[in-house]
Each structure stands twice: as structure tokens, then as C-alpha cells.
Structure 1
């Protein structure tokens, strides 16, 4: 594991007593917002699906460091797969908000890819608005400087929030040029190449659908002046106008995985790092796959999902608390006085 920023070892911060959990209901502009926050209420075991976590459900909030970090989940994702990072952030005093992205979450996966990517940045801004309107948290937070973390499709959102511009037509151009080499990022979980006689048909059909659905060349961009620091983990990035990421408008850090077979680094994160003049390569995990930053990783993944997200042989998950602390340190340095 290569680390950037050895000062991390010298940072210290107070630890709050417990991690609270609550939600803000969905409405037509954003899905349910899950919140993790400093609390004085004792933690208890809480089950959500296959996950069992120690949390203070509906615990009374207490003021931490006064700052909010918003997390954007990956395609089909849930809050629970980022709960270890959320705990690390809360223990450093942050409040963490995770909006469920409409049409691309674990309960509703009807519109993944560019359709969801178009909506996600505004959903991040709406989540900040909703937290600011919530009587439980508004008195505890200053929302003039907010941190934002995203992984995979959430990493695409993170790059957008840092000032990146992209378009569906650029997504189409990438897939026309590199469909076979970056097949899964172009088609998602619809199918995969096996080396068999049907691969030609799969590629032809994939391009037919992509060319039909993603020919809009209008550049998407979203500006929220409250976002003051961004971390993008294994981001989808092949459809960005790279000029827009040469000098991001806020501090931008990337986390990369050398064995990522879902978003092949040379088409995604490596392109951003090659052009960005101010980006910080916060952590590189040479033996990690695409699912490394899911922590905890859902158990029992099989089939194509398992092939893409399960850890490669030799990857050591004991590194992940250090990765979380690197993210905490990045936000602490840039958001706190």
C-alpha cells in the first residue's frame, strides 16, 4: 500500500462516545438520507439485512466538530457498505449524510449509469439542504464548508462536485473506442464477455443500445459553493472532459485500486491523475479490486457481482482502517480551523 501524506501519523483528534443513526425521509428530489453522527446515547446492536452494526439508533445528537461530510454510494449501493468509514468520520467529530440515489440504490436499480449520474450531484446538494433544515442537526453544524466522498459511481459524483464536466456523448465515445477492454463499465451488470461465440453479438447489441441512449453531447456540470473538499474512490471517469479536471475548484483526492476490473484504472482514475495538476493521490492499493472500499463488504457475493466486487487473492482488508483514517485526515485538514 502506497501512502501519500505521512503527516497522517501525527494527527490527533478527540473521540466522541458513540455513533448515532437516524434518517431523513425521501421526497421527490432525493431518496432517504441516512445520517451517522456523534451521540451520547449508548450503542446497541442494529441489524439491516445481512449487516449487524453497533449504533445508537435514534440516539440524541451532540455537537462534534461542526462539519458535515456527504457520502455518495456506488451503483446499487446502500449506506451499510460505507458504515466503517462513517464511524471513523463520526469518531473524529463529523456528521455524515448518505442520500439514496434515485433509480440507482439497493432498493431501486432501475436507472444506473449516465441517467443516475445526471441526477446525483443535485441530490448531494439537496441532502445538504435537508440536513440544514433538520431541527436536530441545524444547530450543530456550519454548512459553509462541506466535505464530499464518493466511491465508484459515487466517485463520478465526487468528480462532478469538484468541478468536473461530462456528457452522455463522451460516455458513448469511450465505449465505442474501448468497449471490449472496459466492457463492464459500459454495460454494467447486464452481461459479460466469456470468450465464447456470443461475445460478438453482445458487443454489437451493447453498442446499439449505447448509441441510441447516450448521444446527448451537452456537458453536465453542477456547482455547490458549500462543497470545500472532495475524495473520489475508484471513480468512474471515462466520460469527463479532462480539461475540466486539470485544476479542480476545490481540493480533490483520489483513492485507486490496482486490480480493479470493473472500472479499469487506465480508462478512469489514471486519466484523472495524469491530467490533474493539483490532485492528491491519497491512497493506492495495488492488490485491491473494485470492491475494496466497500467496508464492510457484503457477504456471499457470487456470479458477476462477486467477480467484480470480491477481494482478489492476496488483498489484506486489515489495511482499510488506515484508508479510512487517511480520508478523515484529509477532511480534517481542509474543513476544520
Structure 2
């Protein structure tokens, strides 16, 4: 006969109390912080830094230009008890800004991270005047100074951030930024040599949004003009590197990478993960993300990871939210190809969160 516990026994009461404690702990662990944002002011020649952080302030729907409506708490009260003491930087793509990565920022904040997005100088949607190698030279140091800006801000001091264990995520030109932070070495001359060899096949990487090849009679003239500009502006072989020991793990999404010396990424300085997309027509995987993966997977001690590979994803697959109403060349390069399902991005964001939890929170 099974042993029965009397409803009024001390053991029964203890079990009820234990169950209540466990339920309380479970509810506390699953309750998520609201996501607040504010903009740290520009410092010197650097632009502002947008920060996302845990808050108890109620979120409200706001519109952010072409990125549509997002639910965030503007200037919300910091909730340090909801934080995990770690900072993740995001490097936006060429002509971008923080709002194209807001859903990833929200996922990171709900997991306890503080997120900081520097507005890269002269290569954001407010001022897109100097994209490409001119911007790539500046971006890694701007990421380092974004850490300094967070450290100097009184509001962020509530979170007691360990700024010796920082993560960094970057997409497109932002992916180029974080590859540099992972130990990658590149040069303007390397950019030119790649484009000399693969100009027609990788045309948008080499010329940006100025024009495109369309199979018409002017394609030859476009390529001739592009080669002239490349020879005039990008002959410098000075290696470009940047190291910040505070940055301990990076994720590169559809990165610009064809100008890197791939030997510099055989052994990444820090854990490196990539997000790739098979239908990327701006940065063709074979010369960019796939080339990095093939080389860094040879690393004996610090192998890189591929967190996601989207068979139907285009270059804008990891922008979330994706700007609405894009047309022309930019629309062709960023809009989702037929058959792409954006519902999978929540799972991919969770993988990015897990990668940073593994490498920033664990000893």
C-alpha cells in the first residue's frame, strides 16, 4: 500500500512551501525586463551612441523612420537588477543605424545585456557620405570609444558593467568591423586587388550603390570607370588592424570580407561566429562569409562557428526590422527574396544571445 502524506502533516506543509518557492523562482526567472533606449551624446569627432538597456518603464509604440513601429521605453528608468553585467556592441551596416538591429537588441536586453550602437561617422543613414574603405578604417576604433562612452555615462553606471568582457555584433560593413576586432588584417590595396580580379562578379561590393551592371552596352564603360577610381583611391597596402582586449567574442552577419588577408583569420584572436545567407547579391558568400569560414575553420584552438545559414536569405535577411518600401538597386539588394520566412529570425537571435552568454558570462 503506497505511503500517503496527511494534508495536515508538517511534511505536507513543507512541500507546499517548497513548491511555492520554486514557482516564485520560476516566475521571476521567466519575467522579462522591458527594453528602454536613449542616445549618448556625440563626443569629439564621434557620433552619438544609442544604448538599449533593461528597464521597468512601460514600453510604448514609436515610429523610427523607414524602420516602422517598435515598442520601446524612451529614456526609461534603468533596472539594474534585470541586467547581467555585460555589454554587447552592434556595428551597423553601410548607410545604416541602430534601428535596423532593434529586434536583436531587444532579445539581448531581455536576456540581461546592455547594448550600445555607435553611429559610424559619415556612413549612417543621417550622413552616408563616406562609405567603404574610408569608413572601415575608422569603425573599429569607434567601437572601442563606444565602450568608453558607456563607461563615462552616469545612467549606465547603475548596471555595474564588466567592461573587460564585451561582445560585438556587426552586419555587412559592420561585419567587416567585427572581423577586424577578431584579429583580421586588411588594406585598401587588398580591396583594389580583389576588385581588379572579380569586378564584374562582385560589382556591388566594389562600387556600392552608384550603379549596377545590367547586361547593357554601358557595362564595359562602367567597369572601366570603376577600375580608374579603384586605381586612383585604393592603392595603399598599409595593413589596417585594431585590437581591443576588452572585446572577447564577436558575431559577423553577412560580412564584407574580400579585402582581408585570410591568413590573419586562420586563428581568430577571440571566439568568432558567422551568420550567412545564400541569396546575398551584395556580398556574394564565396568571396566574403564563405571565404572566412573556410579559412578560420582551420584554427586548431579557437574554431569559428556558423550560427545560421539561410538558403533563401538575401543581404538584408538579418536586418530586423527591414525598412519598408525600398526600391531600385537598394531594394533589389536588401528586400527579401521570394520564399524567405522572417519568422525564423527570433530563433537566430536566440542563438546569437546564447553565443554571447557562453563566451561572456562563463569563466
- The alignment's TM-score, normalised by the length of structure 2, stands at 0.88
Q: Is the 8 A contact 2:78 2:158 kept in 1?
A: no
Query: Could you tell me which residue of structure 1 aligns to residue 78 of structure 2?
Result: 61
Q: Is the 8 A contact 1:16 1:90 kept in 2?
A: no
Q: Is the 8 A contact 1:29 1:123 kept in 2?
A: no
Unaligned segments of structure 2, at least 5 residues: 1-28
Deviations 1:155-193 (A, max 9, x none): 000100111010000000000000000000000000000
Instruction: State which of 334, 338, 342 in structure 2 corresponds to 1:317.
Output: 342
Query: Could you tell me which residue of structure 2 aligns to residue 8 of structure 1?
Result: none
Deviations 1:68-97 (A, max 9, x none): 000000000021110000000000000000
What is the distance in 2 between the residues matched to 1:284 and 1:45? 32
Query: Could you tell me which residue of structure 2 aligns to residue 26 of structure 1?
Result: 42
For residue 106 of structure 1, report the CA deviation from its aligned partner.
Answer: 0.2
What is the distance in 1 between the residues matched to 2:43 and 2:216? 45
For residue 45 of structure 1, report the CA deviation from its aligned partner.
Answer: 1.5
For residue 29 of structure 1, report the CA deviation from its aligned partner.
Answer: 3.6
Q: Which has the larger radius of gyration?
A: 2
> What is the root-mean-square deviation in Å for CA atoms of aligned residues?
1.2
Query: Could you tell me which residue of structure 2 aligns to residue 41 of structure 1?
Result: 57
Q: Is the 8 A contact 1:14 1:92 kept in 2?
A: no
Query: Could you tell me which residue of structure 2 aligns to residue 3 of structure 1?
Result: none
Query: Could you tell me which residue of structure 1 aligns to residue 129 of structure 2?
Result: 110
Spell out the pairing of 1:149-228 with structure 2 (5 A cutoff).
149-228=169-248
Matched, 1:289 2:314: yes
Q: Is the 8 A contact 1:15 1:93 kept in 2?
A: no
For residue 17 of structure 1, report the CA deviation from its aligned partner.
Answer: 2.4
For residue 14 of structure 1, report the CA deviation from its aligned partner.
Answer: 4.8
Q: Is the 8 A contact 1:254 1:282 kept in 2?
A: yes
Q: Is the 8 A contact 1:16 1:39 kept in 2?
A: no
What is the distance in 1 between the residues matched to 2:276 and 2:44? 34
Unaligned segments of structure 1, at least 5 residues: 1-12
What is the distance in 1 between the residues matched to 2:235 and 2:132? 14
Cα gap change, 1:307/1:132 in structure 2, threshold over 3 Å: closer, same or farther? same
For residue 31 of structure 1, report the CA deviation from its aligned partner.
Answer: 1.1
What is the distance in 2 between the residues matched to 1:267 and 1:83? 28
Q: Is the 8 A contact 1:252 1:279 kept in 2?
A: yes
- Describe the SS at the equivalent of 1:23: strand
Cα gap change, 1:14/1:243 in structure 2, threshold over 3 Å: closer, same or farther? farther
Query: Could you tell me which residue of structure 1 aligns to residue 356 of structure 2?
Result: 331
Matched, 1:89 2:111: no
Matched, 1:131 2:150: yes
What is the distance in 2 between the residues matched to 1:117 and 1:14? 40
Query: Could you tell me which residue of structure 1 aligns to residue 15 of structure 2?
Result: none
Q: Is the 8 A contact 1:15 1:92 kept in 2?
A: no
Matched, 1:73 2:92: yes
- The alignment's TM-score, normalised by the length of structure 1, stands at 0.95
- Describe the SS at the equivalent of 1:90: helix
- Describe the SS at the equivalent of 1:147: strand
What is the distance in 2 between the residues matched to 1:241 and 1:203? 25
**Greater RCO (CA < 8 Å, at least 6 residues apart):** 1
- Describe the SS at the equivalent of 2:317: helix
- Describe the SS at the equivalent of 2:255: coil
Query: Could you tell me which residue of structure 2 aligns to residue 7 of structure 1?
Result: none
Query: Could you tell me which residue of structure 2 aligns to residue 256 of structure 1?
Result: 276
- Describe the SS at the equivalent of 1:87: helix
Matched, 1:240 2:267: no
